[in-house]
Amino acid sequence: MPPELTKFPRILDNAPVTKGIVLACGLASVLVGTQGGARAISLSYQKVVQNLQIWRLLSSPCVFSSTPELLFGLYLVYFFRVFERQIGSNKYLLFVLFSTTITTILEVVALAAIRDPTVLTGISLSPGPYGFIFASFVPFFFDIPVSTRFKVLGARFSDKSFVYLAGLQLLLSSWKRSLIPGVCGLLAGFLYKSNILGIKKLKFPETLASAAGRIFAPVISGVSTPPSTARGARDSVQNGFGRPFEHRFAATAPPLTPPPEENVATLVAMGFDRSDALQALAVARNDITTATNLLLESQFR
């Protein structure tokens, strides 16, 4: 394989599911879009229910129908990689499949509810992975704290505002055609958050996950976190932030200087407890990004 394909940007390291989605949707949208076929795979009541073109249910979530939707959609997919790093690729893949499946079912129900018998073709919905993108806004709203706030012309904003604006742009990009999939995705996100049927406790069998990893590793692999560091981070999270971190971290790593007070203040301002922030910074070796991910991950356990 050409080396340039294996050197995918490090910003997607430790997020193989996200990397696969970005590659698959990006390439499919470009290839199908150049042939003018993006809207030809969209969902409509006549095509799916009356003509039984079931293949559309599988192909529609993989292709964006326009360049703006592609840009904003892939940006949001990339941004929400934080959830994959927090709950693990196995559970994140299940979240993607669950939200996409539920969204597709709700879309078909919505098409049946609003169809106009006097119109032959009826409304068709924008294709694209709207399901898990908008489902991701649910944990983003409830579980990701605001770190900074600012004012623009008297209006108050936060660092999360840019993500909401990108989502709003995607939601209204094609009016009804994109609004319905977006709302269905939000409903799927609420169903996942409510842990319907114990979905949060499920995950793919390890044999299936490892087999898929071996098959797709040449395409989506990247430089990952060293195993010892990754194990240490996982162990620290599984122990919970209500208790001290394992002392073995101090035994396997050289003594660290006290974390900079500005790093502690930043984590406290994000809503975390000071003692938890100090422990996370100690495990993360004073790297504030890693510490933030550890603290956020503890909220999903």
Mean confidence (pLDDT) of the chain: 77
The predicted-structure confidence for 17-71, as pLDDT tens digits, reads as follows 999 999 999 999 988 865 566 667 888 888 888 888 899 899 999 999 888 899 9
Query: Whole-model pTM?
Result: 0.70
Residues 6+ apart with CB under 8 A from 96: 17, 21, 132
Question: In this predicted model, which residue has the larger pLDDT, 301 or 41?
Answer: 41
| Residues facing residue 152 across a β-bridge | 155
pLDDT of residue 183: 96
The predicted-structure confidence for 91-114, as pLDDT tens digits, reads as follows 899 999 999 999 999 999 999 888
Which amino acid appears at position 23 of this protein?
L
Residue 279: closest CA among 228, 227, 236, 235: 236
**Percent residues over pLDDT 90 in the chain:** 32
pLDDT of residue 267: 76
- Report the relative pairing of strands 149-152 and 43-44 from DSSP bridges: unpaired
Question: In this predicted model, which residue has the larger pLDDT, 129 or 278?
Answer: 129
At residue 157, does pLDDT exceed 60? yes
Confidence of residue 231 (pLDDT cuts 50, 70, 90): very low
| Residues facing residue 44 across a β-bridge | 124
**Percent residues over pLDDT 70 in the chain:** 71
Find out whether 77 and 288 touch, Cβ atoms under 8 Å.
no
H helix runs in 136-273, sequence order: 137-143, 161-171, 176-193, 206-220, 227-238, 248-252, 261-269
In this structure, of 65-74, 130-139, 227-236, 249-258, the range with the lowest mean pLDDT score is 227-236
Cα distance between residue 236 and residue 243, in whole Å: 10
Q: What is the dihedral of CA 100, 74, 173, 96, to 10 degrees?
A: 10
Give the residue-averaged pLDDT of 189-194. Answer: 94
Highest mean pLDDT among 53-57, 86-90, 292-296: 53-57
